[in-house]
Amino acid sequence: MLLRSQKLFYLLVVFVLLVLVSAYFLKSSNFATNNFWFGFLAFSLVTILVGYYLGVYRVFGPIIKQVEALMAGAEYKKVFLNRKDEFGLLAQFFNYVTKNLESVSHDLKEGNRMMSELDLASEIQRSILPRAIPMVDKLDVAARTRPAEEVGGDSFGFMQKGRQTFLYLGDVTGHGAPAGLIMMMVNTLLYVYLEMSNDTKEWLTKTNLTLKPRVNGTMFMTTVALRWDPDLEKMFYTGAGHEHILIFRAYEGVCEAIASGGIALGMTDDISEIAKEKELNLKKDDVVVLYTDGIPEARNQASEMFTLNRLKDAVTRNGKLGTAAQVFEGIAKDFRAFVGEEPQLDDITLIVMRYTGVPVVEVGKTTETSWGQI
């Protein structure tokens, strides 16, 4: 198929040939004066210019004008050319590309809008996580969390009920916005049901009962709840499918891993038969470490996982460093050394509690919970 510009080119070639042949024959005739040759040349050139104007410039101009406007970032319009040749095709192509550009621009705007909404969600979530932990009577506590994305699935809370401190650490399956929504729901339920609960088993059972019908089967939250009674100096726990509770036995210098037991919240309707509150037998200077699976499942450059065993080793190595904050920093350093520069794929939370037996005198003093760079 000949394109319009090709047709025009061939026409011009034929025209030039005709001019040359005519000139050749006219050269031998007598009437070919200088004036005639001037007129002949002028006619030929004007015909070529008119042909170019009609065939190329007039049709191509509107497209080029809009392309220039587009390139300059100025306002451009759709090009309407009612033609079935390559110029018509070019105009259609221009319209198609600019339409896609508008769509990309819309997507970008939408992306920006979603990002600011995610930022807002992240801010709301951060606001429900404790920015700082209140001092807990006879315990020295350090706790930090860092989500893998804007919104995370890890959460924890320290709540006072009378003289007792209730605390929980939870990890929703996966991470990101869906996990964050479940996490916020559970956090709220836990605050609500604390008033109606006397122990950690009751606390988690009631929370689960409300949570289960509101989540689909894929999402659940592994949780461990602790109750610290400073008068009895005893700590109790109930597991809901969470990771182990690690205890650094200060006297023996070993790290013990206790399966927290139970079933994750949101997995089944009634966990009352499964959940049990048990006592953690602690001696002074023992350190209790709670964590989420983002820590043992973190991988290094060789794709090896940090694993529970490495975490236990880190707790054993650092358990005697002194304050909870120092023990925390020691474990975090070991973790950082292992994962190196690998990106964080899951939310991570680590809570370190040292049983000091020393009553809190600095009322109102708090410790920060945001986990900085790893």
Partner 1 sequence: MAHLDLNVMASEPNAQHQIVQFKGEMDKSNLEQARAVITKFIDDYQLPLLIFDLTYLDFINSEGVGFTVSMFYKLRKKGQDLKIIKVQPKVEDVFKLIGLTELIKCYPDLGSALADITSSP
| Site residues (vs partner 1, CB under 8 A) | 171, 173-174, 216-220, 222, 240-244, 259-264, 267-268, 274, 293, 297, 345
What is the nearest approach in angstroms of partner 1 to the Cβ of residue 211?
14
Looking at the Cβ atoms of 4 and 299, the one nearer to partner 1 is 299
Per-residue b/e over 320-329, b at no fewer than 16 CB within 10 Å?
Answer: ebeebbbbbb
Q: Which of 330, 202, 219 is nearest to 275 (CA)?
A: 202
Q: In the 3-class helix/strand/coil scheme, how is 121-149 assigned residue by residue?
A: HHHHHHHHCCCEEECCCCEEEEEEEECCC
Residues 6+ apart with CB under 8 A from 297: 305, 306, 346
* CB of residue 293 to partner 1, shortest distance in Å: 6
Please identify, using beta-carbon distances, which residue of 55 and 261 lies nearer to partner 1: 261
Distances (CA, A) of 105 to 92, 99, 112: 20, 10, 10
| Closer to partner 1 by Cβ: residue 190 or 221 | 221
Output the smallest distance, CB 262 to partner 1, in A. 6
Nearest distance from C-beta of residue 310 to partner 1, angstroms:
15
CA distances from 358 to 157, 312, 351 (A): 22, 26, 19
CB closer to partner 1 out of 142 and 271: 271
- Half-sphere exposure of residue 302: CA atoms within 13 angstroms, side-chain side: 4
Please give the C-alpha separations between residue 340 and each of 67, 157, 241, 293, 329, in angstroms, as whole numbers. Answer: 49, 29, 29, 18, 16
CB of 58 to partner 1, least distance (A): 55
Looking at the Cβ atoms of 124 and 259, the one nearer to partner 1 is 259
- How far is Cα 237 from Cα 200, in angstroms, rounded to an integer? 6
**Shorter beta-carbon distance to partner 1: residue 137 or 293:** 293
User: Considering the complex, what minimum distance in angstroms separates the CB of residue 259 from partner 1?
Assistant: 7
Question: Token pair of 245, please?
Answer: 């509770």
Closest CA to 256 of 245, 242, 265: 245
- Residue 263 CB, shortest distance to partner 1, in Å, is 3
Q: Token pair for residue 268?
A: 């089944």
User: What's the rounded Cα separation, in Å, for the pair 26 and 40?
Assistant: 10
Nearest residue (CB) to partner 1, 182 versus 235: 182
